[in-house]
């Protein structure tokens, strides 16, 4: 049976997003939602509450005062940010590193999440430079862009390891090695799962088209930022997404950035700075 | 029913009619709340966009925010980039305690955080007993930090909705733009004043220059025409500015400008350091004004030539000065000459007189006679010199009157030649006279004409070659005039001096003529006399070959 068919069946058994996160996503869509309402929902999950407070008080935001309640976090950081944080940490939770089990891994999940957070940080950085309206949305889009890979690893581990092997031995990009093994590639797998989880269209498009941003209808700019960030992080060797190659940066994506080649050195410098700030997120990717 | 509770509504046990009612209500609520937001925003934007005074603008912003937020107190701060601090610019109802709290928020870096993160912050005031909240709204316009608004409300932070935060961000952005506009407006005002000052300054400079100034673009349209130009060319600037020079400036000036413009067009003027200058005689009815026109290129800040600047100077004065300098030189020479001329006869008169005194009473009558003769002769010379000076002075003052009678020019020539025979023989110069058979009489002053002829013949003798010189005097009669020519074989007059020999006091190069006594007055007197008779005198001369003076006298 081809993976695609099995996958569609298996998706049913995929873990869903925590109900708390889904609820937050619904609430944030309503402009008349009050901070206290979200705060109530988050408080149903004490672990999530702690994680959110940890992040809002981290260097990532650099807020000068201690933030002690979710309501304050929402008032200060805004509804969207708190939603994205909740979504991010929940996804990390689902696909936590297995290294705690002691198995020697050919695929390093820590490096994988490092790459994902790097792409998130870079997308946010580029979004700010282009004055994109919501840089935090860019951050979460970057973080989740390769979610399809981790689903492959989790549910089609054998095939996944085969792909990793081919990519390594034949010196291919993961996405090209994938074509030799499966009939469905990680962007599409990610897209199906993201859709099932009811994630916003910006995230779905970032997952589905991060190798080909111009295919996105309506979010091509944001997706091209994710695409470019993926390339930049591979160049800067921030984490590892399963192969050691750098894909070609698409011309339209480069044009969207409005950058000169001479600006890149400064961008990389800022990128490493930004990745350092986002370090707190890494904590939640590791098995406790 | 509040809309935020829409999701809470349980519609399972509600009848369809009730459902429709609920949905209608929700729709109306949504619509009215959206209408509210839009109308507040419209009012806000409209009000603040027409204020260009910072204080007045901030007053207005505070007033409108009061309506929207219902704050207890408000402080608008403006960012001081140099000191990296936020300074109060507008305050309302800020008591001492709130003031301290706001300053603490600034000190703790919350204002800075709000502007760097571009986020409004809603912060509970933990120190207050009643539920109070600080709202911190950054004012940012095009990445530039303008300031931060602090609002203090007696309202729980929990009750703020998502849309409130977004709304605050929009108000902040709008206010920032309006504040920025007032800055730009002020800056523009200051720049305009600077420009006006600069313009006045330049106008003053241009109009107080002693040089006429005409500036035009490459099309030849006059842009500037200063006061001096008006005075020099007798044209008002209002009559020429904005018009093409060919159509408004007099021909002599516009032709010169055309030459200069052609020069600018055909040469790579960037590499030329020295531009040509032109001298123009400007014909103003009644007089001719000599002008010097120089020019230079007008360049923009990238050194492209965008026009031509003409500078016009009146040369009348400088020419006059040049002439006066020459006269001064001539007079100095005259004093030296006249002194010499006066002293020579005086010295010999004195010497002979002293000798006579010594030998007075002796028998040597011959010597005494001879000496007295010399004294007499020298006195004659002195008298001549002085009468020459007197003649000239009379001629100049206009007192001189001709005593006209029918004059036989042949006779005058013969008589003059006779009188000078001795002088000629002393220097071995022969005088040749060529006279026609019958000559009609000339109506003129006989003694003055004689003076002229004697003067010219004696010059011809004096300035002849040392030995064997020849002087030819001839008279010819034409239907309308007489012509007397006196030709010599002497040293001649250099070409550059020919025009000047009739000027009083002028003597050709002092060193050459020093051996020959003379006051430099003779030819000036001659010319005056001929002029009075309505005649003309001309010279043709070649150095070391000889000169030919021709006098024509009208019948």
Contact A63/B at CB under 8 A: yes
Q: Which of A65, A75, A131 sits opposite B160 (nearest CB)?
A: A75
- Assess whether pLDDT exceeds 80 at residue B24: no
- Assess whether pLDDT exceeds 50 at residue A123: yes
- Assess whether pLDDT exceeds 60 at residue B515: no
C-alpha to C-alpha distance for A246 and A230, rounded to whole angstroms: 9
Mean pLDDT lowest among A161-165, B2-6, B397-401, B447-451? B2-6
Contact A130/B at CB under 8 A: no
Residues whose CB falls within 8 Å of the CB of residue B530, separated by 6 or more in sequence, listed in order: B452, B536, B537, B551, B553
Mean pLDDT lowest among A35-49, B179-193, B233-247, B334-348? B334-348
First-to-final CA distance of chain A = 36
Mean pLDDT lowest among A208-212, A280-284, B38-42, B396-400? B396-400
Task: Give the residue-averaged pLDDT of B271-289.
Answer: 80
Task: Give the residue-averaged pLDDT of B290-315.
Answer: 88
Residue B64: closest CA among B158, B147, B167, B185: B167
Contact B119/A at CB under 8 A: yes
Task: Give the residue-averaged pLDDT of B164-193.
Answer: 87
Tell me if A174 sits within 8 A of A163, measured CB to CB.
yes
Instruction: Report pLDDT for B160.
Output: 75
Q: Which of B109, B157, B161 sits opposite A64 (nearest CB)?
A: B109
Task: Give the residue-averaged pLDDT of B481-492.
Answer: 90
Contact B480/A at CB under 8 A: no
Contact B2/A at CB under 8 A: yes
Q: Computed from CA positions of residues B255, B259, B261, B265, in that sequence, does the dihedral angle turn out positive or negative?
A: positive
Q: Computed from CA positions of residues B93, B97, B99, B104, in that sequence, does the dihedral angle turn out positive or negative?
A: negative
Task: Give the residue-averaged pLDDT of A197-217.
Answer: 91
Phi, psi of B438 (to 5 degrees): -115, 130
Contact B495/A at CB under 8 A: no
Alpha helices for B50-161 (secondary structure H): 54-69, 96-107, 110-117
- Assess whether pLDDT exceeds 80 at residue B471: yes
- Assess whether pLDDT exceeds 80 at residue B161: no
> Which of the four pLDDT bands, split at 50, 70 and 90, describes residue A106?
low
Tell me if B212 sits within 8 A of B229, measured CB to CB.
yes
SS3 state of residue B539: strand
Tell me if A285 sits within 8 A of A113, measured CB to CB.
yes
More confident residue, B430 or B496: B430
Q: How far is B83 from chain A (nearest CA, A)?
A: 20
Contact B110/A at CB under 8 A: yes
Mean pLDDT lowest among A11-15, A18-22, A112-116, B515-519? B515-519
Instruction: Report pLDDT for B417.
Output: 87
C-alpha to C-alpha distance for B494 and B115, rounded to whole angstroms: 92
Mean pLDDT lowest among A257-266, B268-277, B423-432? B268-277
Closest chain B residue to the Cα of A37, Cα to Cα? B158
Tens-place pLDDT, residues B406-417: 989 998 999 888
C-alpha to C-alpha distance for B181 and B179, rounded to whole angstroms: 5
Contact A246/B at CB under 8 A: no
Question: Does B7 contact A30 at a Cβ distance shorter than 8 Å?
Answer: yes
Q: What residues of chain B lie within 8 A of the CB of A273, using their CB?
A: none
Residue A165: closest CA among A180, A155, A186, A187: A180
Task: Give the residue-averaged pLDDT of B497-510.
Answer: 69
Tell me if B222 sits within 8 A of B240, measured CB to CB.
yes
Task: Give the residue-averaged pLDDT of B82-90.
Answer: 89
Contact B100/A at CB under 8 A: no
Question: Does A34 contact B158 at a Cβ distance shorter than 8 Å?
Answer: yes
Percent of chain B with pLDDT over 70: 90
Question: Does B161 contact A35 at a Cβ distance shorter than 8 Å?
Answer: yes
Instruction: Report pLDDT for B7.
Output: 47
Return the half-sphere exposure (C-beta side, CA atoms, 13 A cut-off) of residue A32: 15
Q: What residues of chain A lie within 8 A of the CB of B123, using their CB?
A: 65, 72, 75-76
Q: Is B310 exposed, middle or buried (0-12, 13-18, 19+ CB in 10 A)?
A: buried
Question: Among B157, B162, B164, B169, which would you mutate to test the A interface (most chain A Cβ atoms within 10 Å of its Cβ)?
Answer: B162
Contact B167/A at CB under 8 A: no
In which element (H, E) is residue B418 found?
Answer: helix B409-419
Task: Give the residue-averaged pLDDT of A171-196.
Answer: 89
Mean pLDDT lowest among A66-80, B33-47, B217-231, B463-477? B33-47
Complex-level ipTM beyond the 0.85 threshold: no
Whole-model pTM?
Answer: 0.57
Mean pLDDT across chain B: 83
Question: Does B4 contact A34 at a Cβ distance shorter than 8 Å?
Answer: yes
Residues whose CB falls within 8 Å of the CB of residue B377, separated by 6 or more in sequence, listed in order: none
Tokens in use for B61? 């912003």
Instruction: Report pLDDT for B13.
Output: 66
Tokens in use for B448? 């003055």
Instruction: Report pLDDT for A287.
Output: 62
> Which of the four pLDDT bands, split at 50, 70 and 90, describes residue B509?
low
Alpha helices for chain A (secondary structure H): 3-13, 19-29, 35-42, 46-56, 70-77, 79-94, 109-129, 135-144, 147-155, 157-169, 174-181, 186-196, 201-208, 220-235, 251-257, 264-277, 279-283
C-alpha to C-alpha distance for A127 and A139, rounded to whole angstroms: 9
Q: What residues of chain B lie within 8 A of the CB of A43, using their CB?
A: none
What is the layout of strands, in order, in the sheet containing B121-124? B85-92, B73-80, B144-153, B133-141, B121-124
Q: What residues of chain A lie within 8 A of the CB of B108, using their CB?
A: 64-65
> Which of the four pLDDT bands, split at 50, 70 and 90, describes residue A122?
very high
- Assess whether pLDDT exceeds 50 at residue B3: no
Question: Does B113 contact A63 at a Cβ distance shorter than 8 Å?
Answer: yes
Instruction: Report pLDDT for B193.
Output: 92
Question: Among B119, B165, B170, B172, which would you mutate to test the A interface (most chain A Cβ atoms within 10 Å of its Cβ)?
Answer: B165
First-to-final CA distance of chain B = 132
More confident residue, B345 or A268: A268
Contact B63/A at CB under 8 A: no
Tokens in use for B313? 């100077």
Tell me if B37 sits within 8 A of B167, measured CB to CB.
yes
> Which of the four pLDDT bands, split at 50, 70 and 90, describes residue A103?
very low
Question: Does B158 contact A63 at a Cβ distance shorter than 8 Å?
Answer: no
- Assess whether pLDDT exceeds 90 at residue A228: yes
- Assess whether pLDDT exceeds 80 at residue A41: yes
Residue B136: closest CA among B58, B49, B71: B71
Percent of chain B with pLDDT over 90: 18
Question: Among A23, A26, A27, A31, which would you mutate to test the B interface (most chain B Cβ atoms within 10 Å of its Cβ)?
Answer: A31
Radius of gyration of chain A (CA): 18
Q: What residues of chain B lie within 8 A of the CB of A75, using their CB?
A: 121-124, 157, 160, 165
Q: Is B290 exposed, middle or buried (0-12, 13-18, 19+ CB in 10 A)?
A: middle
Tens-place pLDDT, residues A4-40: 777 777 777 777 888 889 899 888 888 778 888 888 8
Tens-place pLDDT, residues B52-74: 788 888 888 888 888 878 899 99
Angle made by CA atoms A137, A142, A148, in degrees to the nearest 5: 120
Task: Give the residue-averaged pLDDT of B251-279.
Answer: 83
- Assess whether pLDDT exceeds 50 at residue A101: no
Tell me if B328 sits within 8 A of B295, measured CB to CB.
no
Instruction: Report pLDDT for A204.
Output: 94
Q: How far is B163 from chain A (nearest CA, A)?
A: 5
Phi, psi of B52 (to 5 degrees): -115, 5
Task: Give the residue-averaged pLDDT of B391-401.
Answer: 72
Closest chain A residue to the Cα of B110, Cα to Cα? A64
> Which of the four pLDDT bands, split at 50, 70 and 90, describes residue B43?
confident
Tell me if B461 sits within 8 A of B420, measured CB to CB.
yes
Most confident of B9-23, B157-171, B432-446: B432-446
> Which of the four pLDDT bands, split at 50, 70 and 90, describes residue B9?
low
Instruction: Report pLDDT for A288.
Output: 55
Residues whose CB falls within 8 Å of the CB of residue B166, separated by 6 or more in sequence, listed in order: A31
CA A216 to centroid of chain Cα atoms:
17
Instruction: Report pLDDT for A187.
Output: 92
- Assess whether pLDDT exceeds 60 at residue B76: yes
Instruction: Report pLDDT for A100.
Output: 45
Task: Give the residue-averaged pLDDT of B449-462.
Answer: 88
């Amino acid at each position: 049976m081809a993976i695609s068919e099995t996958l569609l069946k298996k998706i049913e058994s995929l873990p869903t997003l925590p109900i708390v996160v889904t609820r937050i996503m619904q609430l944030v869509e309503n402009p008349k939602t009050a901070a206290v309402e979200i705060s109530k929902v988050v408080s149903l999950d004490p672990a999530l509450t702690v994680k959110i407070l940890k992040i809002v008080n981290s260097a990532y935001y650099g807020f000068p005062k201690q933030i002690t309640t979710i309501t304050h976090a929402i008032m200060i950081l805004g509804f969207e940010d708190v939603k994205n944080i909740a979504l991010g940490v929940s996804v990390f939770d689902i696909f936590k590193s297995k290294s705690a089990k002691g198995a020697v891994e050919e695929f390093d999940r820590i490096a994988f999440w490092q790459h994902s957070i790097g792409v998130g940080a870079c997308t946010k950085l580029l979004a700010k430079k282009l004055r994109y309206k919501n840089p935090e949305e860019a951050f979460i889009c970057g973080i989740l862009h390769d979610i399809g890979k981790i689903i492959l690893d989790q549910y089609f581990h054998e095939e996944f390891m085969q792909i990793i092997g081919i990519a390594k031995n034949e010196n291919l990009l993961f996405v090209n090695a994938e074509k030799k093994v499966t009939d469905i590639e990680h962007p599409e797998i990610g897209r199906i799962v993201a859709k099932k989880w009811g994630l916003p269209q910006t995230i779905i498009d970032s997952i589905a088209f991060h190798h080909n941003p111009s295919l996105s209808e309506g979010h091509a700019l944001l997706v091209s930022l994710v695409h470019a960030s993926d390339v930049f992080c591979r160049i800067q060797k921030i984490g590892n997404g399963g192969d050691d190659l750098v894909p070609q940066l698409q011309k339209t994506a480069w044009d969207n950035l409005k950058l000169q080649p001479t600006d890149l050195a400064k961008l990389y410098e800022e990128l490493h700075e930004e990745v350092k700030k986002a370090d707190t997120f890494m904590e939640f990717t590791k098995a406790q | 029913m509040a809309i935020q509770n829409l999701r809470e509504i349980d519609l399972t046990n509600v009848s369809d009619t009730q459902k429709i009612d609920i949905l209608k209500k929700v729709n109306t609520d949504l619509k009215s709340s959206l209408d509210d937001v839009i109308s507040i925003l419209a009012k806000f934007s409209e009000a603040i966009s027409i204020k260009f005074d910072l204080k007045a603008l901030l007053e207005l912003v505070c007033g409108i925010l009061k309506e929207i937020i219902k704050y207890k107190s408000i402080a608008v701060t403006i960012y001081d980039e140099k000191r990296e601090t936020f300074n109060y610019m507008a305050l309302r109802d800020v008591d001492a305690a709130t003031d301290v709290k706001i300053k603490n928020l600034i000190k703790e870096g919350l204002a800075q955080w709000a502007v760097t993160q571009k986020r409004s912050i809603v912060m509970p005031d933990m120190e207050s007993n009643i539920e109070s909240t600080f709202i911190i709204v950054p004012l940012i316009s095009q990445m530039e930090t303008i300031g931060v608004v602090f609002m203090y409300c007696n309202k729980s932070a929990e009750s703020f909705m998502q849309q409130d935060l977004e709304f605050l961000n929009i108000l902040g952005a709008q206010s920032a733009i309006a504040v920025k506009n007032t800055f730009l407006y002020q800056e523009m005002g200051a720049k305009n004043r600077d420009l006006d000052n600069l313009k006045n300054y330049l106008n003053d400079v241009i109009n107080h220059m002693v040089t006429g100034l005409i500036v035009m673009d490459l099309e030849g349209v006059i842009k500037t025409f200063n006061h001096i130009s008006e005075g020099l060319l007798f044209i008002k600037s209002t009559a020429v500015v904005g018009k093409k020079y060919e159509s408004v400036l007099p021909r002599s000036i516009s032709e010169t400008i055309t030459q200069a413009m052609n020069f600018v067009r055909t040469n790579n003027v960037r590499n030329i350091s020295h531009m040509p200058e032109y001298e123009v005689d400007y014909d103003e009815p009644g007089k001719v004004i000599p002008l010097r026109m120089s020019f230079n290129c007008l360049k923009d800040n990238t050194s492209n030539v965008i026009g031509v600047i003409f500078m016009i100077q009146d040369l009348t004065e400088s020419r006059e000065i040049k002439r006066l300098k020459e006269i001064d030189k001539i007079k100095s020479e005259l004093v030296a000459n006249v002194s010499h001329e006066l002293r020579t006869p005086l010295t010999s008169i004195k010497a002979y007189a002293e000798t006579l005194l010594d030998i007075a009473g002796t028998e040597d009558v011959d010597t005494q006679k001879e000496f007295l003769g010399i004294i007499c002769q020298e006195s004659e010379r002195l008298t001549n010199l002085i009468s020459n000076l007197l003649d000239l002075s009379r001629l100049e003052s206009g007192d001189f009157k001709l005593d006209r009678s029918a004059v036989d020019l042949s006779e005058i020539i013969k008589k003059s030649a006779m009188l000078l025979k001795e002088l000629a023989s002393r220097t071995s110069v022969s005088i040749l006279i060529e006279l026609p058979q019958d000559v009609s009489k000339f109506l003129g002053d006989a003694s003055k004409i004689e003076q002229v002829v004697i003067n010219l013949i004696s010059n011809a003798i004096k300035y002849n070659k040392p030995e064997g010189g020849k002087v030819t005097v001839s008279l010819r009669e034409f239907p309308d005039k007489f012509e007397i020519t006196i030709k010599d074989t002497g040293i001649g007059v250099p070409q550059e001096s020919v025009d000047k020999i009739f000027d009083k006091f002028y003597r050709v190069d002092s060193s050459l003529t020093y051996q020959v006594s003379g006051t430099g007055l003779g030819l000036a007197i001659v010319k005056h006399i001929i002029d009075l008779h309505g005649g003309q005198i001309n010279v043709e001369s070649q150095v070391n070959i000889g000169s030919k003076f021709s006098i024509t006298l009208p019948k």
